[in-house]
Structure 1
């Protein structure tokens, strides 16, 4: 939840920040004597009134009613999951054009939400075949946002062409998502071309969200020289920076360890008169200094933001704990956890993952096991990151029997395992010379449909070199070569796939009656064929891509 600063105007916030910076800063401590400028409500002292139950029988009936509702909810979830899986299977069929709208749309939404871009595009192709289908910009916006996260700029370009072929006029949201898809994949030229295309349209001019998205892409690629140019253009067009814009700039400078520019951006934010720091600004500062090991500056800025009336959240405390743990300051790390519990902040899975990881790195297996057990006692479900940290800690301490115990726990759970987990286990067995167990885990990895990466092959090569197995070494060196070759070809395709967008930028009005030749080549493979009957009525109540600033 975003919390507002308590000062009525920016001048007072600026004055408070100046006074705080000029005064001597004390170290941040968490312990039995903690002084903070805000006083949370002591929920333990609050009195609650519960409704009276007239009879024991009625209470039992109510309980049974809740159980029935829970069973109904569970059955509804199971039916939905089954429907989603069924739709995913039918996405490869060419004859399914009268499917239930809710099932198709839920399947599409599920794939988008979980960033399964290949599945999402197949289901979208199935959606376009339905007789009730009508194209909507919000659907395309959602898909483009997903493709940006998955770094699929070529597919985003093709999808945009398909949208134009359906006669839709792109909105600001669609263009912004396309800018994000290009910029997030490092194709800044294409992102700026798309921005220029927007500026040529009278009814689709870029807004503060578009520019904030572009600034975010520049920050992630460390192209800070372009940020000033973007800000100057915004000022020329009369577009004011929002809190999100400033937070994006601050976060980018912080991750690049450009602390002077980060602090200057904070002052610019306050001096703007219409934007004030919030908890996201606080978290960016805490993360930046904590990640760099500058604990004193981290603690100082924590107090500065407290003086400005900005309350921390669970992410703030997680960052503090990780920063202390990396520096070996375990007493402070645990005191943060105690501070959270006293202030009624509920530690999450990620909180315990951090603590388990830090004690595992230190080799304190007893403490690591203690907090793992505490995590389970609280009803928090361990995930693949939890088990990965445990395996790393046990292997570092030479306790391979404990690694086997973790593998048995994983087999008896429904935890979704990923490539980093298997890399960790393969490394544990490989570095200790248990090559047969390493090979078993490699086969299990393939059975679980987790794709090996460079780390997987490099770890196995190192293990085989230690055993003198040169034949296996050559085999996996070829695997690495093939993997790098695929990545290079993919990068070339991503670069060439945006040519259609560059061509389109030369036109005044970016509306095409048909998809480009690049798009036509892929439409039948990914989007379910060519033109569809768009005269059918729209299915109401389905919304994709609500705009958020």
Structure 2
């Protein structure tokens, strides 16, 4: 507090304090009050005195000497507040304190621990505006030699550092530290922490680390606050490696952090994205049974969930409960969000129910995760049902939830309910935005109600809600599907009039829409205009035109455009390339499909597995197994996942050209690689063995021997199928029946046919024809006719092959009868 000051004569004041005035004139110059002198006798509180400057006497007294001031201060050493007031008072009348008077004052304040007075004294001394007084380092050195106790010296240095921090910047304060250390005086850990905090606030983390290392060099042991300051600064600079080094040093020094310290450390790791490290450290902290703040748990759980390490996140939630922390909405929210993201609705609902069972109230964010998961899984009806359920429960509904529900109604084609939700939003004080209006426009376009879509668009404009590029693209696509060519061009003009330039995606949607609507010529006109004008990401435009040609059945035009674009240095997107390869193979232009693959590889774009499979299959159908094998090898060398389908395609190709041995070798290679064969692969080999038996190379072998070999090969493959628990399907049974018939094992063929029926499989025309052919080849025409009738009775129409087999058998029978 500010004390009232009454003028007194120095002599009377000194008599009051029983101090002999040494050569002091009996003239008024001091304004210390008696109340101050009494109060300060037993006080050491800094707040008890705040001295104002004294009033000068009309006549200046004789100059004071340093010795008398020192003696007076010494007599006042048990009254630090009065001593400090006297020190300031003498200074205010023009006395220049020197090394001795400052030292005495510092001795008094340090022994009585008057921190505020000491900081005030040093602040005035080191201030740049005050050029008087002794040099600060000389004063420190003198106090070092005369203070008597290390504790007094440490207190003095602490106050000096605090004063320097108040008056100077980081670099000046750090420089003072160095100069003090060179005097042989080591500032306390508290002072170093002040310096570290000052540097950290300036954002210079490298200087923080330097100061920290200097602190260790002077043999000081950092404390908890030191580590907190240093690690926080390093975390802000994203220097995780340096943080871990500091952590290791802390562990070696035996410094134990408290709950807040550990929590801050874990949060820092999470802020740097090092969730795995945070999780590991948390396990150690839990083992030491140190409580951790809920925020640290939640941040680590959030990180684990973002990395989809959900098992660990669930264990962490359990550990949190064991540590006595009450489950909160955040941990459950992270798990529900992640499981919904991966489409695991069962786990998401389990955690939601667990959350509710703990009495934790849900919120609109968690509900939106669940509803979006339903929508992602195509469960549109469930989206609507749960939305209504949460709505009836009184849950606060935000714009996101309304949009999800509106989208569900639109996908169901229930536009009336969607519009009602929009109006409900308005009446509830929520302002619909462009997302909600775009949702309605998309719903009407999906139903083909383009006029209603236009009305919503106009309502959106009247509400001063600016459509974005997504809105325009959806509406443009709707116009195209409805064949409204002029409306599309008008919409593009409208976009540009409102300062929104159509992008390549907009034009691409329009082009594809024209083609799907049967307006290929309009698509070409728009394509030519935009290509001539030029546009960013023009490859999107090229991709759209290629897909448009393919949709219209103009595969050759799509191929020529692809080649022209490639020569210009551009490449259509991966989807368009794959579709082009598929259509070229379908129309028999295998060389064109091969060229597309080569051009893709020249542009460092690797075709997908389906494109390779289509190309290999096309070459196999043409009997060009060498090129099929080349593309197969290229596929393997590029590290693509070659599955059983690709192997089966190649095996089937080899079998068709009579290269059964290579097909068998490929089968063995496939199984050795750990690729499990399926029933189709076995069917291909079974059929291959049958064809091999009937080829010219077997003509020199007796008929009985051929039948035996065929039967042995089939039994071997069937045994392998059984070991792998692969059941034959209808095509497989058909091949087996055909083989038995050609080997003249008709009884076994019929048994296979009956076995197929007993398993609930329905024979097709090929299966019936194979057995009919077997009966006919053995002259059992009546059985063949009975089987044909059975086939018709079962609703299976005989095909041309069936009648051809029967006609040939009738002709053979007639010829035999004529010969007889």
- Pairing partner for 2:418 from 238, 262, 268: 262
- Pairing partner for 1:275 from 412, 415, 430: 430
* CA shift for structure 1 position 444: 6.8
Structure 2 match to 1:128: 276
C-alpha contact 1:218 1:227 (8 A) present in aligned 2: no
C-alpha contact 1:137 1:171 (8 A) present in aligned 2: no
Cα distance in 1 for residues equivalent to 2:677 and 2:240: 36
* CA shift for structure 1 position 130: 9.3
Structure 2 match to 1:349: 504
Structure 1 residues without counterparts, runs of 5 or longer: 1-97, 106-123, 148-154, 486-549
- Pairing partner for 1:408 from 567, 571, 575: 567
Cα distance in 1 for residues equivalent to 2:593 and 2:239: 42
User: What are the equivalent positions in structure 2 for 1:309-328 lying under 5 Å apart?
Assistant: 309-328=464-483
* CA shift for structure 1 position 269: 2.7
CA RMSD across the alignment: 4.6
C-alpha contact 2:301 2:316 (8 A) present in aligned 1: yes
Structure 2 vs 1, CA of residues 448 and 457 (structure 1 numbering), >3 Å: closer, same or farther? closer
- Pairing partner for 1:252 from 385, 394, 408: 408
Cα distance in 1 for residues equivalent to 2:523 and 2:328: 54
- Pairing partner for 2:543 from 388, 391, 398: 388
Kindly tell me the number of residue pairs found equivalent between the two proteins: 352
- Pairing partner for 1:158 from 307, 311, 316: 311
* CA shift for structure 1 position 201: 4.1
Larger relative contact order (CA 8 Å, sep ≥ 6): 1
Cα distance in 2 for residues equivalent to 1:452 and 1:232: 45
Deviations along 1:437-472, one digit per CA (max 9) or x if unpaired, are 42454577686355434xx47855885687477997
User: What are the equivalent positions in structure 2 for 1:484-495 lying under 5 Å apart?
Assistant: none
Structure 2 match to 1:287: 442
Cα distance in 2 for residues equivalent to 1:484 and 1:233: 49
Q: Given the two structures, how large is their TM-score scaled by the length of structure 1?
A: 0.52
Cα distance in 2 for residues equivalent to 1:158 and 1:166: 13
Say which SS state the counterpart of residue 357 (structure 1) adopts: helix
C-alpha contact 2:371 2:386 (8 A) present in aligned 1: no
Say which SS state the counterpart of residue 224 (structure 1) adopts: helix
Structure 2 match to 1:520: none
* CA shift for structure 1 position 253: 1.7
Deviations along 1:63-96, one digit per CA (max 9) or x if unpaired, are xxxxxxxxxxxxxxxxxxxxxxxxxxxxxxxxxx
Deviations along 1:249-274, one digit per CA (max 9) or x if unpaired, are 00122123232332333343334x23
Matched, 1:448 2:596: no
C-alpha contact 1:141 1:174 (8 A) present in aligned 2: yes
* CA shift for structure 1 position 309: 4.5
Structure 2 vs 1, CA of residues 142 and 452 (structure 1 numbering), >3 Å: closer, same or farther? farther
Say which SS state the counterpart of residue 501 (structure 2) adopts: coil
User: What are the equivalent positions in structure 2 for 1:166-185 lying under 5 Å apart?
Assistant: 172=329, 175-185=332-342
* CA shift for structure 1 position 160: 2.5
Structure 2 vs 1, CA of residues 285 and 424 (structure 1 numbering), >3 Å: closer, same or farther? same
- Pairing partner for 2:370 from 211, 214, 227: 214
Cα distance in 1 for residues equivalent to 2:319 and 2:538: 46
Cα distance in 1 for residues equivalent to 2:432 and 2:380: 24
Cα distance in 1 for residues equivalent to 2:460 and 2:422: 11
Q: Given the two structures, how large is their TM-score scaled by the length of structure 2?
A: 0.37
* CA shift for structure 1 position 294: 1.5
Matched, 1:421 2:576: yes
Structure 2 match to 1:330: 485
C-alpha contact 1:360 1:389 (8 A) present in aligned 2: no
Cα distance in 2 for residues equivalent to 1:137 and 1:449: 42
Q: By percentage of residues, which structure has more helix?
A: 2
Say which SS state the counterpart of residue 239 (structure 1) adopts: coil
* CA shift for structure 1 position 205: 3.9
C-alpha contact 1:352 1:375 (8 A) present in aligned 2: no
Matched, 1:190 2:347: yes
Structure 1 match to 2:724: none
Deviations along 1:480-499, one digit per CA (max 9) or x if unpaired, are 998999xxxxxxxxxxxxxx
User: What are the equivalent positions in structure 2 for 1:509-548 lying under 5 Å apart?
Assistant: none
C-alpha contact 2:508 2:545 (8 A) present in aligned 1: no
* CA shift for structure 1 position 366: 7.8
